[in-house]
Amino acid sequence: MTAMNGSGRGREKWKYLDNVLTKAGPFTDPEWVPGQETIDFLECSKILVVGAGGLGCEILKDLALSGFKDIHVIDMDTIDVSNLNRQFLFRQADVGKSKAEVASAFVEKRVKGVKITPFNGRIQEKDADYYMQFKMVICGLDSVEARRWINDMLVGMVGETEESLKPLIDGGTEGFKGQARVILPTITSCIECQLDMHAPRAAVPLCTLATIPRQPEHCIEWAHIIAWEEERKGDTLDTDDPEHITWLYQKALSRAQDFNITGVTYSRTQGVIKNIIPAIASTNAIIAASCCNEAFKIATNTNPYLNNYMMYSGDDSVYTYTFEHEKKDDCPVCGNLAKDMEVDGKWTLREFIDKLAERPEAQVKKPDLRTNEKTLYVQSILGLEEQTRSNLDKKLSQLVDDGEEVAVTDHAFQFTLRFRLLFKR
């Protein structure tokens, strides 16, 4: 054992891992060979962690303590004082600094021998060559949009070689509830296949936002939906851009003061705009442990990995449930069929767009719509928006035929949603 572990006490602190890595167990593959080769493969596996917030901090710590030595982390956020109650790698003196950089330095200091490379920026700033270097990707995100983007990137990278397939391990928490899932792009159900499990938030009536706001959230939504459209029409709102969030916060705060409403803060504005649900530290710890456990199993083959979805609930008691989420043939990312959608031919195109935003399997915010024959409506290009605006008040039956396919794109995503519209009889 001494020879296998390196000279002397070099692996003494990893003896709990070596109990798993140096001998076969009841669930190991018959052809699996324990020992130094497996240890070396674990240590040289390059892992990308997306997000360094509440869940990401836990994931970085768990990966480092699980024997991974080459970790990269990407996050564009800076540390806010509100993060300190649950994002345990940060201290008061770190407020205003990069989450990715501070988290990396903290873990490197506490776990000797691990190398963590931070990137302070958006995932969209990196191309396929960047993501191709990693053994797998682990997401600890608070944004459905970001999950959909990285999922589309990894599915699109899959080619003829085994190395092009990068497993995606995704964790998410909502209060006392959470989930962990393992995705093999193009092989198993992907993020987009499972999108209907992330229900969009309930809409607030526009009349409430415009005339009688009663809660700080109403003021924030007013700034988001009405003020932005009136004062910055043509600018695409980026919910990850601090300048955009600051602008919305200042507008919401001014409106709240006009109606004697308290409670509008920068962090609350960010939470409402990005649909962030307050996190519970213990839930983050449990879901992060599950994600890192799956990463360890994939990297070492010591046990079968999750197939493919685990749900956790800790509000009433402690409950977990695992199941296989099925791959969908009509998935816009990993499938090849259009999704059937029943519509009322009497709906206007404007009403149809509103309903797209509400549907769990779509969740688009500023869609462009086209058929094979014509363009129905384009929001992303100002000149085309003016040319196609008149279609908004036309009925669907005037614009498309029963059974015709409509392609829906959104600037936030790289892929196209395809729906086959079936008129109600």
- Point out the catalytic residue in the list 139, 207, 291, 331: 207
For residue 366, give Cα distances in angstroms to 62, 93, 226: 38, 39, 14
d(C-alpha 403, C-alpha 400), whole Å: 8
Bridge partners, residue 181, by sequence: 170, 309
Q: Using an 8 Å Cβ cutoff, are 37 and 124 in contact?
A: no
Specify the DSSP class assigned to residue 75: -
Show the tokens assigned to 280: 């519970």
Distance of CA 231 to the CA centre of its chain: 29
Bridge partners, residue 377, by sequence: 369
Specify burial of residue 103 (Cβ count, 10 A radius: 0-12, 13-18, 19+): buried
d(C-alpha 254, C-alpha 225), whole Å: 15
d(C-alpha 53, C-alpha 99), whole Å: 7
Q: Using an 8 Å Cβ cutoff, are 266 and 273 in contact?
A: no
Q: How many CB atoms are located within 10 Å of the residue 58 CB?
A: 27
d(C-alpha 12, C-alpha 135), whole Å: 26
207 is catalytic: yes
d(C-alpha 172, C-alpha 194), whole Å: 13
Helix (H, G, I), strand (E, B) or coil at 302: coil
Q: Would you name the residues annotated as active-site residues?
A: 207
